[in-house]
Structure 1
Amino acid sequence: MSHSPSSSVSPLRGWARFWSSYPGLAPQAITCRRSAAEDVGNGKVLTQSLRIVREISGVSFQLANPHYRKLEAYAAENRTVISRTILMLLFVLLVAGELSAQEADIAAQEEAAMSAAVDRVAVSVVRIETFGGLERVGNVLLGDGPTTGLIVSEDGFILSSAFNFVRQPSSILVTLPGGKRTAAKIVARDHSRMLVLLKVEHDEPSKVPELVPTDEIQVGQWAIAVGRVYDPKRPNMSVGVLSAKDRIWGKAIQTDAKISPSNYGGPLVDIRGRVFGVLVPMSPNASSEIAGVEWYDSGIGFAIPLADIQPQLTAMKEGKDVHPGLLGITLEGGSIYAKTPTIAACQVKSPAYEAGLRSGDLILSINGVSIGRQSELKHALGRMYAGDTAHVVVKRGDEQIEADVQLVEELIPYEHPFIGILPRRDGEGTIVRYVYPNSPAKAAGLKVGDRIVGIGEQQPGNAVALRLAVANFEPEQTVSIRYEREGEEQAADLKLARLPTTLPLILLEDLAPDPSDKNVAAPKFIQIKLPEESSECLAYLPPTYDPAVPHGVVVYLRAPGDFDREKLLTRWHQHCEDDDLILLAPQPRDKNRWTPTELEFVRKTVDHVINSYSVDRTRVAMFGRQAGGALGYLFAFRHRELARAVIAVDAALPVRMRLPDNDPVKRLAVVTTLPKNSRVAPRIEQGVEMLREMKYPVTVVEMDESRDLDALELEEIVRWIDTLDRI
C-alpha cells in the first residue's frame, strides 16, 4: 500500500539543513578520544550546537522531545570532555527512533482510514459470476473467475464493466453484500463508456453509495480501487491516487491504483468511501469491450465518473442501450493534435448536413467551448451521447454560422459516389487519363485529356481536391461538372454511380510496359533496419524508381510457415517496375505466426517508406494470405489514414472485429478470395456481408481450393491496385 507525502516539513529536513549550514559540526567518524587535546568541543559547545539544531530543525518538535531535553541538560552540566560526534549520533538515533514510531503510527492510521473507506462502500459492492460463453475474443483469453459490480439503485440495478460480459455468458449469478446469491440479467448497455446495467430480483435491502461531487474531484486525491472477487465477505482493494481527469476523450478519470479483472466493474472511491466512478478497461485508440485490457495492473487505470452515468440510468433501466453521439462529418487528414477542425466532408443526410454544416467549414466552438485542434473537437464530442444536442459555431469564409445539431446513434452507411475516371498523376489540375465504359463520365461525354475544373459549386484544383469534392455527394445524385477541352470550357450534368466492385478487364493503354525501359539488372531486396526493432523487413525498390513519379506501396504480409523470399521477388519485381510500385515485406518475429502486437512494427515500416520515397497515398495496399490477411484487415481498419486497400487471400475478418463506418475521405476498398473448400470460407462470406452492409466496396474472387493467387490473378490484382485513385 502506497502513502501520500505529508504536507508538513519533516524534522529530518531540518537536520539536513543543519549539517549543510554548519560543516564544522558535521558528524565525524566515530573514534574514542581519550584526551582533551584531541577534541575541539566541550559541553558548552555541544549545548550551543543543540540549540542551533533546535532552531533549524523545528522548534515545536524539539521542545516537545524529552530525549532532546535530557541530552541538552546533560551537555550543559557535563564539564568533562565529551565527544560531540557521539552525542550528536546518539541524538539522531533517538530522533530517528521516535520518527520511525510516528511514521508507523501514521501508516497504521492511513491503513485504518482506507479500510474504513472500503467498509463504507462494501455494502454496495457485489460479486458477479458468469457461466458459459466464449473462452477467447480475438487474441484475448478470457478468464472464468468472478468479477465485480456496483449497486446503483435500491430496486436491484447494478452497474459493471462490459469487459466482464464480453464472453456472452449464458447465465449470471450475483452474490449480494449480505451473502445471498441470486440470478441476474443484462438490462442495457452503455456503448460509449463500456458499461453494463444488470437487474437482480431480491428482498435484501440495497444500499446506494454516496458520490463524490464533480467539483470535489481533484488530481492527487487518494483513490482506492475496490473489487469483490477473492473473498465474498471482504472486498479486495488497491490504493493509489487520482492521476488525471477528462481522459479517454472526456469520458474517464485516471488512477495509478492497480486496475485489472479483479476489480473491473467495481468502484473507485475516495478516502471517505465516496464513489468517484466505475472501474473499466479503456483506450483512447479503440472502443471495444476489451480495449485497454493490455494495461492490466500497469498503474494506468480508468473509471467512469458515476455522476456522468446517472443521467443515462433512467433510459437504461427501461432496457434502452445508450450510444456515443455522432455528428456526421469527416475532418481533413493529418495529426489530430496539430490540424485545425476543418470539415473535409459532410455526409449527406447526417445531422451536421441537415443542420447546414458543409465541407470547408472551420469549427470554432462546441457548446461554448473553444475548439482549435481536431483533438479538442474529439474531446468535446467524446463525452456526448446520441440524443444530446451540440451547439456548433463554424466559420465559412468571413461569415460565422451557428447551428444546433442533435447527435445520433448511427449514420446511414456512407457509400462512395463515382464519376468514372482515372486522373493523370503528372501535371497540374485534374486531367483525365481514362474513362470507364458505361460510367457517368462516359455518358456525359468526357474524354481522355479533358481537364476537370469544377463540380457543383466547387472548383477543385487537382485530383485530390476533386476526389474530396465528390465525397460530399451520394450515388444517384445529379451534379454539374465543368471541364476544359482544347482551351474551351464545357459543362455537363451527370448522375453519380457507385464505386465499381469488379476487377478491371482490360490493360489500360498507359499502363502497358515499355520494352525500352526494361532493366536487365537482377532484382534484389533491400533491408529496412529500424533501430528500435529486431524484426526483419524486406523492400523492393524498382530500378525504374523516379522521385518525380509517386509510387504505390504493396505491404506483403506472408502466411505463417517457411518463407521463400526469392519466389516473392520473382512474382512481384516486374509488376513493381511496370506499375510504379514499391513492395514492402515486414517479417513476423515468429515465422509460424503473426500477433496483433506486431501491427506497430508494420506501421513503422510503412511510415519509413512514406518518409523515404515518393509515395502515392491513394495506392497503399495491404496484401496478405491467411493470418497475414487477417493482420492486413486489422492494420487497415486501425490505420485508416494509411491503408487504401486490403487484398485478403484465404483470410477472414478477425473474430468480433468492430467495423468502423465507411469514411468519405479515408477510402478503403477490399478484394477477398473465397476458396470453396477452405475452413474459413463461412467466415469469409460472413465478413463480406458485413462489409457490404457498411457500404465498403468489396470484390470477391471465387476459387475451387485454398491456394495462393496464380500469375493471371495476381496481374488482375495489380491492375486493380493501379485504379485505386479512381474518381
Structure 2
Amino acid sequence: MGATATVISGTGDPRDDALDDPANDSSTLLDAYSRVVTNAVEQVSPSVVRLDIRHGGRRRGGSGSGVILSPDGLILTNSHVVQGAKRADVTMLDGRGFSARVLGDDPDTDLALVRIDENATLPAARLGNSKKLKPGEIAIAIGNPLGFDASVTAGVISALGRSLRSKNGRLIEDVIQTDAALNPGNSGGPLVSTQGDVIGINTAIISGAQGICFAVAANTASFVLGQLVAHGRVRRAYLGIGAGTVPLPRRIALRLGLMQKMGAVVSAVEAGSPADHAGLLTGDILLAVEGVPITGADDLVRVLDAEKIDRTIPFDVLRRSDRRRFWAALRERS
C-alpha cells in the first residue's frame, strides 16, 4: 500500500500568506493612491488662496479661490469670481492676508489675473502641459474656501478638449472634465496632476456641474496669462464655433497624407457667425488655420489671435472623408 503525500502550499510563514491575500493588495494600492494625492496636495496647497472681491473699496463682492503662479504674487482665478471688480483681498493657507488688484479679465475663458500689492516672495505652483493629459489619469481639485484650510477632492480625468456653454452664453473652449467634485468656494482653484503640476483652473459656472468638475486647461490658461500680463485683456478673432479635441480616423489620415493625429471637431456653430457664413458644419474636423496645424481645441484658442481680426482666413477641414478648404471673414470678439 503506497504512502499518501500531502502537499502544503506556501512557506509556512504567515507573512507570505498575507501577501497572497487580495484584500491586502487592495489596501496596498489604496495606501499608494493616498500617498500620491497627499504629496500633490502638500506641494500645491500653499499656493492656493482665498479671494474676497471688493467693489468700490468695500468688501461687497463674492469670494472664490485662486492659485499663485509666480513668487511675486500673480494669481490666476475665474472671471466670474472677479465679477468685473478692480480690487480683492487675498488670504493665504497660512493665514497671511494681502491686498491685490485685478490686472485683467477674460470672460471667454472664464479666467482673470490678480496681482498682490505687497512686496513679498510667495509659494508658487507651476503650470503643466495639458496636451499630454489622457483620460483616466488622476486629477485633484484644490480650493481655499475658508482661507485657512485647503479643500481637496480627487478623481480621474473623464474627458479632454471639451467646449461648454457658460451661464452667460459664451462658449468656453479647451475644457477638462473630471469626476473630482467641485466644492462651493473652490471655483478658481487649481486642478492638479499627481506630479503637482497645475493642469487646469476649476470653474463652477457650467450649468448642471454638481458632483463633477470642469476646468479650463493649463495650456489655454498659460496663453491667457501671457496676454493679460502684456495687455490687460485678450484680443481674439471671432469664428463662432464650439470645438473639442478628437483623434483623426487613421485610414483617412493615411489616405490624405496627414501627419497630425488629432484635430478640433466642431461641436456647435453659432447662427450668423463667421463660421456659419463660411459654411462650417457640426461634425467638421479642423485640420489647419492659415496653414497652421490644429491638433486640438487649445491650438484653436491660440491661433485665433488679434493678428487675424478683420481678415479673411482659410480653414482646412476634414468633412466625412474629404479634405476641404473654407474661407471665413473674422472679426473681433466683442
TM range (shorter): 0.5 to 0.7
Distance 1:324 1:263, change over 3 A: farther
Q: Give 1:257's aligned residue.
A: 180
How far apart, CA to CA, are the structure 1 residues paired with 2:150 and 2:234?
30
Q: Which of 202, 213, 222 does residue 301 from structure 1 map onto?
A: 213
How far apart, CA to CA, are the structure 1 residues paired with 2:197 and 2:267?
40
Q: Which of 281, 285, 288 does residue 368 from structure 1 map onto?
A: 288
Q: Which of 150, 153, 160 does residue 245 from structure 1 map onto?
A: 160
Q: Which structure exhibits the higher relative contact order, with contacts defined as CA atoms closer than 8 Å and separated by 6 or more residues?
A: 2
Q: Give 1:184's aligned residue.
A: 100
TM-fit CA distance, 1:242: 0.9
TM-score of the two chains, using structure 2 as the length reference: 0.67
How far apart, CA to CA, are the structure 1 residues paired with 2:278 and 2:87?
51
Q: Give 1:221's aligned residue.
A: 137
Q: Give 2:72's aligned residue.
A: 155
How far apart, CA to CA, are the structure 2 residues paired with 1:340 and 1:181?
43
TM-fit CA distance, 1:180: 2.3
The answer to whether the aligner puts 1:277 opposite 2:200 as a matched pair is yes
Q: Secondary structure at the match of 1:248?
A: strand
TM-fit CA distance, 1:302: 0.9
State whether residues 72 and 120 of structure 2, in contact with CA within 8 Å, keep that contact through their aligned partners in structure 1.
Answer: no
Q: Give 1:326's aligned residue.
A: 238
Summarize deviations over 1:322-376 as a string: whole Å, max 9, x none: 26641379xxxxxxx99998x9867xxxxx5xxxx9958567764528xxxxxxx
Q: Which of 43, 54, 63 does residue 120 from structure 1 map onto?
A: 43
TM-fit CA distance, 1:103: 3.5
How far apart, CA to CA, are the structure 1 residues paired with 2:327 and 2:186?
43
Q: Secondary structure at the match of 1:253?
A: strand
State whether residues 366 and 391 of structure 1, in contact with CA within 8 Å, keep that contact through their aligned partners in structure 2.
Answer: no
TM-fit CA distance, 1:311: 2.3
Q: Give 2:13's aligned residue.
A: 66
Q: Give 1:505's aligned residue.
A: none
Q: Which has the larger radius of gyration?
A: 1
Distance 1:226 1:179, change over 3 A: same
Amino acid at match of 1:129: D
State whether residues 175 and 216 of structure 2, in contact with CA within 8 Å, keep that contact through their aligned partners in structure 1.
Answer: yes
Amino acid at match of 1:368: A
How far apart, CA to CA, are the structure 2 residues paired with 1:128 and 1:162?
12
How far apart, CA to CA, are the structure 2 residues paired with 1:328 and 1:68?
64
Distance 1:64 1:219, change over 3 A: farther
Q: RMSD over aligned Cα, in angstroms?
A: 4.3
How far apart, CA to CA, are the structure 2 residues paired with 1:172 and 1:325?
30
Aligned counterparts, 1:227-626, within 5 A: 227-230=143-146, 232=148, 234-248=149-163, 250-281=173-204, 291-296=205-210, 298=211, 300-322=212-234, 325-327=237-239, 361=279, 366-368=286-288, 385-387=304-306, 389=308, 391-393=314-316, 403=327, 406-410=330-334
**Between structures 1 and 2, the one with greater helix share:** 1
State whether residues 127 and 222 of structure 2, in contact with CA within 8 Å, keep that contact through their aligned partners in structure 1.
Answer: no
Amino acid at match of 2:107: H
State whether residues 86 and 101 of structure 2, in contact with CA within 8 Å, keep that contact through their aligned partners in structure 1.
Answer: no
TM-score of the two chains, using structure 1 as the length reference: 0.33
Q: Secondary structure at the match of 1:104?
A: helix
TM-fit CA distance, 1:217: 0.9
How far apart, CA to CA, are the structure 2 residues paired with 1:358 and 1:110?
47
State whether residues 385 and 407 of structure 1, in contact with CA within 8 Å, keep that contact through their aligned partners in structure 2.
Answer: no
TM-fit CA distance, 1:189: 0.8
Amino acid at match of 2:72: D
TM-fit CA distance, 1:319: 5.0
State whether residues 124 and 209 of structure 1, in contact with CA within 8 Å, keep that contact through their aligned partners in structure 2.
Answer: yes
TM-fit CA distance, 1:177: 4.7
TM-fit CA distance, 1:150: 0.8
Q: Secondary structure at the match of 1:368?
A: strand
Aligned counterparts, 1:86-97, within 5 A: none
How far apart, CA to CA, are the structure 2 residues paired with 1:143 and 1:44?
84
How far apart, CA to CA, are the structure 2 residues paired with 1:211 and 1:187?
19
How far apart, CA to CA, are the structure 1 residues paired with 2:175 and 2:11?
47
Q: Secondary structure at the match of 2:103?
A: strand
Distance 1:108 1:320, change over 3 A: same
TM-fit CA distance, 1:269: 0.7
Amino acid at match of 1:387: A
TM-fit CA distance, 1:239: 0.8
Q: Secondary structure at the match of 2:145?
A: strand
State whether residues 387 and 406 of structure 1, in contact with CA within 8 Å, keep that contact through their aligned partners in structure 2.
Answer: no
TM-fit CA distance, 1:169: 5.8
How far apart, CA to CA, are the structure 2 residues paired with 1:97 and 1:302?
40
Is there any run of 5+ residues in structure 2 with no aligned partner, and where? 165-172, 242-264, 290-295, 319-323
Distance 1:383 1:266, change over 3 A: same
TM-fit CA distance, 1:387: 1.9
State whether residues 391 and 404 of structure 1, in contact with CA within 8 Å, keep that contact through their aligned partners in structure 2.
Answer: yes
How far apart, CA to CA, are the structure 2 residues paired with 1:132 and 1:65?
73
How far apart, CA to CA, are the structure 1 residues paired with 2:146 and 2:118?
23
How far apart, CA to CA, are the structure 1 residues paired with 2:175 and 2:206?
12
How far apart, CA to CA, are the structure 2 residues paired with 1:338 and 1:127?
36
Amino acid at match of 1:128: L
Q: Secondary structure at the match of 2:49?
A: strand
TM-fit CA distance, 1:157: 1.5
State whether residues 127 and 175 of structure 1, in contact with CA within 8 Å, keep that contact through their aligned partners in structure 2.
Answer: yes
Summarize deviations over 1:185-206 as a string: whole Å, max 9, x none: 2121112111111111222213
Q: Give 1:197's aligned residue.
A: 113
What is the aligned residue count? 281
Q: Secondary structure at the match of 2:126?
A: coil
Amino acid at match of 1:303: A
Q: Secondary structure at the match of 1:295?
A: coil
TM-fit CA distance, 1:126: 1.6
Q: Secondary structure at the match of 2:144?
A: strand
**Aligned-pair identity (%):** 23
How far apart, CA to CA, are the structure 1 residues paired with 2:100 and 2:156?
33
State whether residues 49 and 91 of structure 2, in contact with CA within 8 Å, keep that contact through their aligned partners in structure 1.
Answer: yes
State whether residues 192 and 324 of structure 1, in contact with CA within 8 Å, keep that contact through their aligned partners in structure 2.
Answer: no
State whether residues 223 and 302 of structure 2, in contact with CA within 8 Å, keep that contact through their aligned partners in structure 1.
Answer: no
Q: Give 2:293's aligned residue.
A: none
How far apart, CA to CA, are the structure 1 residues paired with 2:267 and 2:192?
38
How far apart, CA to CA, are the structure 2 residues paired with 1:246 and 1:388?
24
Q: Give 2:122's aligned residue.
A: 206
State whether residues 251 and 383 of structure 1, in contact with CA within 8 Å, keep that contact through their aligned partners in structure 2.
Answer: no
State whether residues 220 and 298 of structure 2, in contact with CA within 8 Å, keep that contact through their aligned partners in structure 1.
Answer: no
Distance 1:407 1:312, change over 3 A: farther
State whether residues 154 and 208 of structure 1, in contact with CA within 8 Å, keep that contact through their aligned partners in structure 2.
Answer: yes
How far apart, CA to CA, are the structure 2 residues paired with 1:236 and 1:118?
10
Is there any run of 5+ residues in structure 1 with no aligned partner, and where? 1-42, 52-62, 70-93, 134-141, 282-290, 330-336, 347-351, 370-376, 411-727
Q: Give 1:172's aligned residue.
A: 88
Distance 1:324 1:67, change over 3 A: same
